[in-house]
């Protein structure tokens, strides 16, 4: 398979875990490039459901190498717990799971600051973060005070940490929150460092060597385009570049080494956390989508907000990521909807928007312009060929591809590996 970046084209939770698991069959290496354990990738194999937060979704195919790249922020304690969970299911990670020595470390004070800042924000300004410390950890990275895995394994770790703990406790005091205990952190992280050490590697060299040897790489994006710190619904975003561009800076692989971009997109839209969501449905249909789609956050368990397919968002995601193919998921969730709606544009203050406005307050006031299509009112979850889809379902999928100008690569009609129609991927 060509070197592929796989990104979420909406607000995350598009079903990337499943698509990655399916595509991983054809690759040699799977690489995470941004985010942290705010992500939750669900993989269903047989009757077993696995939720991964940091470990790449390729881990369940035993001959694949999995890498956590330099662009990821990693809580080593959470990582070791996750690895233990994977090993408990009989999966061997030795020699095939690596963490970048350049990846930044998430500490308890990052989580404490994340939670304290959220508590300080007034209603309507809360981001609804996962409270995993992601924003403060990336903040330290760009402020050039972050500690990386190379530092975690270094003998001067405790000394470097001490400065950061002092500064963090100052911030926490300013936010009216409890301080963190330096000694406890040193002990906990020394222990985690000893366990994580065999996995730490210069992944920039590791990945580039694989590229030079002609191995095929799948770059696994987390979250989604509308949560990208540059292109998303700022400030209601996460703190990394979730888009295809992040795959280069988050791994050290040059842009011309990447052959194609696959955008994962749900046949409707969801969002977890706060912030604008133009096609949100706060009615019976929204509740039905949530119920049928089991729309609960894989990391926090929060119910996801549900709404119609937003082609404005999808077109924008196709543009900023250069999406070559859609991997469209959860079509079956719409099986019992009489009329399906697609937002083709927005209107706000008498102005029509064909693309996503930069200002979050404008986006929050936008009302969608809908195009309606008949539903199919038939079960699609057992369909294995495009030609066997109900005509109305096929028309809906084709219309989504037409409006967004992107070809269909894969269609998913259920959570298991088998309910996947590989069209061009
Ligand atoms: P943070 O990444 O924890 O700082 O949260 C920032 C925003 O991104 C919040 O609205 C979260 O709900 C959202 N978010 C973070 N990770 C995910 C994810 O994996 N799926 C969906 N939303 C996410």
129 Cα: distance to centroid of ligand 1 (angstroms): 6
Query: Who contacts 190 (Cβ-Cβ below 8 Å, separation ≥6)?
Result: 157, 158
Asked if 178 is an active-site residue, the reply is no
Closest CA to 129 of 239, 46, 255: 239
Residue 135 above 90 pLDDT? yes
Domain with CATH 3.40.440.10 in the chain: 1-98+202-425
The Cα 375–Cα 366 span in angstroms is 25
Residue 302 above 90 pLDDT? no
| Nearest protein Cα to ligand 1, atom 1 | 129
44 Cα: distance to centroid of ligand 1 (angstroms): 22
Domain with CATH 1.10.300.10 in the chain: 104-197
pLDDT (tens digit per residue) in 323-351: 999 999 999 999 999 999 999 999 999 99
Q: Is 250 in the pocket of ligand 1 (CB under 6 A)?
A: no
Q: For the purposes of burial, counting CB atoms within 10 Å of the CB of 72, is it exposed (0-12), middle (13-18) or buried (19 or more)?
A: buried
Angle at the Cα of 411 (from 226 to 322), degrees rounded to 5?
A: 40
pLDDT band of 301, cuts 50, 70, 90: confident
- Token representation of residue 352: 């029509």
> In a mutational test of the pocket of ligand 1, which residue from 130, 232, 233 has the highest number of ligand atoms less than 8 Å from its CB?
130
The Cα 90–Cα 375 span in angstroms is 43
Over range 26-31, report the average pLDDT: 96
Q: What is the third-level CATH fold of 104-197?
A: Adenylosuccinate Synthetase, subunit A; domain 2 (1.10.300)
Residue 148 above 90 pLDDT? yes
Return the C-alpha torsion angle 14, 15, 17, 21, nearest 10: -130
The pLDDT assigned to 292 comes to 95
Indicate which residue of 21, 26, 41, 178 is catalytic.
41
Asked if 13 is an active-site residue, the reply is yes
Query: Who contacts 79 (Cβ-Cβ below 8 Å, separation ≥6)?
Result: 37, 54, 55, 68, 99, 192, 196
Closest CA to 325 of 337, 317, 333: 317
The pLDDT assigned to 360 comes to 87
| Nearest protein Cα to ligand 1, atom 9 | 129
Over range 295-303, report the average pLDDT: 87
130 Cα: distance to centroid of ligand 1 (angstroms): 6
- Token representation of residue 57: 């979704």
174 Cα: distance to centroid of ligand 1 (angstroms): 25
Strand-pairing partners, residue 371, are 342
| Nearest protein Cα to ligand 1, atom 11 | 129
Helix 76-88 to helix 182-196 angle (10° resolution) is 40
pLDDT band of 313, cuts 50, 70, 90: very high
Whole-angstrom CA distances from 280 to 46, 277, 337, 350 are 33, 6, 16, 21
Q: Is 115 in the pocket of ligand 1 (CB under 6 A)?
A: no
pLDDT (tens digit per residue) in 31-63: 999 999 999 888 888 888 888 999 998 899 989
The pLDDT assigned to 57 comes to 85
Report the nearest atom of ligand 1 relative to the CA of 274. Answer: 10
Contact 271, 280 (CB under 8 A): yes
- Token representation of residue 372: 């309606």
Tell me what the pLDDT averaged over the chain comes to.
Answer: 95
Output the DSSP codes for 79-96: HHHHHHHHHHTT---TTT
Over range 116-128, report the average pLDDT: 93
> In a mutational test of the pocket of ligand 1, which residue from 51, 113, 227 has the highest number of ligand atoms less than 8 Å from its CB?
227
Over range 232-243, report the average pLDDT: 96
Output the DSSP codes for 241-306: --STTHHHHTTT--GGG--EEEEEEESSEEE-SSS--TTB--SHHHHHHHHHTT-B-TTT-PBPEE
| Nearest protein Cα to ligand 1, atom 5 | 129
The Cα 425–Cα 415 span in angstroms is 18
Q: What is the third-level CATH fold of 1-98+202-425?
A: Adenylosuccinate Synthetase; Chain A, domain 1 (3.40.440)
Residue 71 above 90 pLDDT? yes
Indicate which residue of 13, 75, 140, 228 is catalytic.
13
pLDDT (tens digit per residue) in 159-175: 999 999 999 999 999 99
- Token representation of residue 206: 């590791």
237 Cα: distance to centroid of ligand 1 (angstroms): 7
Q: Is 130 in the pocket of ligand 1 (CB under 6 A)?
A: yes
375 Cα: distance to centroid of ligand 1 (angstroms): 31
Q: Is 241 in the pocket of ligand 1 (CB under 6 A)?
A: no
């Amino acid at each position: 398979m060509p070197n592929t970046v796989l990104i979420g084209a909406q607000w995350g939770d598009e079903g990337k875990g499943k698509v990655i698991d399916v595509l991983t069959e054809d690759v040699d290496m799977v690489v995470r490039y941004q985010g942290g354990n705010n992500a939750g990738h669900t993989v269903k194999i047989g009757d077993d459901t696995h939720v991964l937060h940091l470990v790449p979704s390729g881990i369940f195919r035993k001959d694949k190498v999995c890498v956590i790249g330099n662009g990821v922020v990693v809580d080593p304690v959470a990582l070791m717990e996750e690895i233990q969970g994977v090993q408990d299911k009989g999966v061997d990670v030795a020699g095939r799971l690596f963490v970048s020595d350049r990846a930044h470390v998430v500490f308890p004070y990052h989580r404490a600051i994340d939670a304290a800042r959220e508590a300080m924000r007034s209603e309507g300004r809360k981001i609804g973060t996962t409270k995993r410390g992601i924003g403060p950890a990336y903040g330290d990275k760009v402020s050039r005070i972050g500690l990386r895995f190379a530092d975690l394994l270094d003998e001067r770790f405790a000394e470097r940490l001490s400065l950061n703990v002092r500064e963090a406790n100052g911030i926490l005091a300013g936010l009216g929150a409890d301080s963190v205990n330096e000694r406890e952190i040193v002990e906990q992280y020394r222990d985690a460092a000893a366990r994580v050490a065999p996995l730490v590697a210069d992944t920039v060299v590791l990945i580039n060597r694989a590229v030079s040897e002609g191995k095929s790489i799948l770059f696994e994006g987390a979250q989604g385009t509308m949560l990208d710190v540059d292109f998303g619904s700022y400030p209601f975003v996460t703190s990394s570049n979730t888009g295809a561009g992040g795959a280069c800076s988050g791994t050290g692989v040059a842009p011309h080494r990447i052959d194609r971009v696959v955008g994962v997109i749900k046949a409707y839209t969801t969002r977890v956390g706060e912030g604008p969501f133009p096609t949100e449905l706060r009615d019976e249909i929204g509740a039905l989508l949530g119920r049928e789609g089991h729309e609960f956050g894989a990391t926090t368990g929060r119910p996801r907000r549900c709404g119609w397919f937003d082609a404005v968002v999808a077109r924008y995601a196709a543009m900023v990521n250069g999406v070559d193919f859609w991997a469209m998921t959860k079509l079956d969730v719409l099986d019992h909807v009489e009329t399906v709606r697609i937002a083709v544009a927005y209107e706000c203050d008498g102005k029509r928007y064909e693309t996503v406005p930069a200002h979050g307050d404008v986006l929050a006031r936008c009302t969608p312009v809908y195009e309606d299509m008949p539903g199919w009112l038939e079960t699609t979850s057992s369909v294995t060929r495009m030609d066997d889809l109900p005509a109305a379902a096929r028309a809906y999928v084709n219309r989504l591809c037409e409006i967004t100008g992107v070809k269909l690569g894969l269609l998913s009609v259920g959570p298991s590996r088998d309910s996947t129609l590989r069209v061009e991927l």
